[in-house]
Structure 1
Amino acid sequence: MSAAERGDAPHAGRYGESVFRPEQAGEDERIDFGALAYDDITMARLRALGVGPGWDCLDVGAGTGTVSRRLLEEAGVASVLAVDRDVRFLEARRIPGLRVLEADVTAPGAVPGRFRLVHARFVLMHLPEHERLICALAELVAPGGVLVLSDAVDLTNERTPATPYSAAMRAMWQGLRATIGTDVTWVPSCPHLLRDAGLVSVAAEVHVPPLLPGGPLSRFWADTWERSRAAMLATGLVDDAGVDAAVRYLGSDECAALSAGMLTAWGHRPEEDSP
């Protein structure tokens, strides 16, 4: 279902334009905080799926390249193609053996070839055409290969205790949806969308790393709120003092909250029939 069909107001920009601009100082560090929180989880799932020597891999929305690097250095895969709309962080870090492609995956034919692993983390949640893109990414999976998608799931609801953190998270999700089209409401349906895309042996899991004062995930959310502050304030759900209070709350021993979870879903492309 399109944004127009859901009745959403049109948003003004895209990820990396009005919010989370790569040229803004410290954006690579913000991405790295998220990587510190989630990379071990991602790599454990990829290893459990058998990713290893001989695999040709595609890492979509590769960011600073932390998953791409670990696929090459730890999993020992044959090759990784890292794709992003802006590859400045990938180029700056010069990962040996990594192929880099600056491309917009929303454009038809943006990525050539097929891969035994196609991986995208925290990408589709920012793209309104996620259903079409799941089908497009599934087509990039070689027979016998696997598509692995991870996106955020919001764990706040009407019974979540009212704290500076919960107020900031609600304002962030609403502000990002209005500003760049971010939508996590569909993410729990990702396994069904993988089946609809023709994949088999579909499964999913959710992981929620802890929010610890000074920990990488707490620092990631604090930086994320700072960079999306204008969008959050525009919702009317928080003011500047409220955002500041939420940042202090994350860094304090008073923090008692669940982070947004990461839902990872995967599905395999069937082996082609013998001729």
Structure 2
Amino acid sequence: MSAGEPGGRYGEAVFRPEQAGEGERIDFGALAYDDITMARLRALGAGPGWSCLDVGAGTGTVSGRLLDEAGVASVLAVDRDVRFLRERPGLEVLRADVTGPDFAAGRRFRLVHARFVLMHLPERERVIAALAERVEPGGVLVLSDAVDLTSGLEPGTPYTAAMRAMWQGLRETIGTDVSWVPSYPRLLRRAGLVPVAAEMHVPPLEPGSPLSRFWADTWERSRAAMTGTGLVDDAAVDAAVRYLDSEECAALSAGMLTAWGWKPAGAAPR
């Protein structure tokens, strides 16, 4: 490994699923973002008769809501670690690596969905093309990832210091890179999908909210990566956690950009 190269992967170097409380951290994120995700998926038509692929399914909240609320026919929930997922009628669980060459080979879905996955992966454009191949003609690929809204114009606060250290630390440790996320519409179009569109959602940071607890837990689990940047020390991380839970907190969370693109109805599988 040369200097500056990531030394691990999500779930290995940081955010290990076997670490106590990791499932709860994921669920805090789900509480903050699931409603907007489901609103978009249903607006795109997800409903009875649809077959769905949920990539990086985590604790399965989106997969379950697709079945229970949208009434889709089936969901294949995929993750590299499936300890938080349980099969049930309509829900199939697959332990697999989305970057692998045989990922879901030969299978096509009306909806392919991935949220907070590609931002942590190398060869992102190749993975987008591979996911587009899993979409059946007339189906839709929906991708969501984080967009950093912490600008250099903001005054320094415990929150901005922690967020900057987190993004840099995760990039150096596991290769997380959100700088390319605004390119989603162009990348979906390059993958042969048309039409494409995108939107952004920024949930509020409020003391004690699921989102604030998500960021506090995320910083705790990435503390070594954050302090390793030299931008913050342990005291600064502790101050940021306290800041999130105080009335002094005045900040924007990272946004969630969601982009989608349709597979032309006459497209032949490659």
Instruction: Output the TM-score relative to the length of structure 1.
Output: 0.95
Does the 8 Å contact 1:68/1:82 carry over to 2?
Answer: yes
Could you tell me which residue of structure 2 aligns to residue 243 of structure 1?
237
Count the aligned residue pairs: 267
Could you tell me which residue of structure 2 aligns to residue 179 of structure 1?
173
The residue type paired with residue 96 of structure 2 is A
Instruction: Extract unaligned runs of 5+ from structure 2.
Output: none
Residue number among 138, 149, 169 corresponding to 1:144 in the alignment? 138
Deviation (angstroms), 1:48: 0.6
SS state at 1:200 partner: coil
Deviation (angstroms), 1:128: 1.5
Could you tell me which residue of structure 2 aligns to residue 49 of structure 1?
44
Could you tell me which residue of structure 2 aligns to residue 26 of structure 1?
21
1:204-215, aligned counterparts within 5 Å? Answer: 204-215=198-209
| Alpha-carbon distance between aligned partners in 1 of 2:164 and 2:183, rounded to the nearest angstrom | 21
Deviation (angstroms), 1:95: 4.2
Change beyond 3 A, Cα 1:68–1:185: same
SS state at 2:93 partner: strand
Instruction: Extract unaligned runs of 5+ from structure 1.
Output: none
Deviation (angstroms), 1:104: 0.4
Question: Which stretch of the first structure deviates more once superposed, 130-139 or 104-113?
Answer: 104-113
Change beyond 3 A, Cα 1:273–1:23: closer
Instruction: Say whether residues 1:39 and 2:38 are aligned partners.
Output: no
Change beyond 3 A, Cα 1:172–1:62: same
Instruction: Say whether residues 1:219 and 2:213 are aligned partners.
Output: yes
Offset from partner CA, 1:150-169 (integer Å, 9 cap, x none): 00000011102210000000
Change beyond 3 A, Cα 1:54–1:8: farther
| Alpha-carbon distance between aligned partners in 2 of 1:24 and 1:145, rounded to the nearest angstrom | 37
Instruction: Say whether residues 1:89 and 2:90 are aligned partners.
Output: no
Could you tell me which residue of structure 1 aligns to residue 103 of structure 2?
110
Residue number among 89, 101, 121 corresponding to 2:94 in the alignment? 101
| Alpha-carbon distance between aligned partners in 2 of 1:36 and 1:89, rounded to the nearest angstrom | 16
Deviation (angstroms), 1:201: 1.1
| Alpha-carbon distance between aligned partners in 2 of 1:260 and 1:273, rounded to the nearest angstrom | 36
Offset from partner CA, 1:141-190 (integer Å, 9 cap, x none): 00000000000000011102210000000000000000000000000001
The residue type paired with residue 73 of structure 1 is D
The residue type paired with residue 34 of structure 1 is G
Percent identity among equivalent residues?
79
Instruction: Output the TM-score relative to the length of structure 2.
Output: 0.97
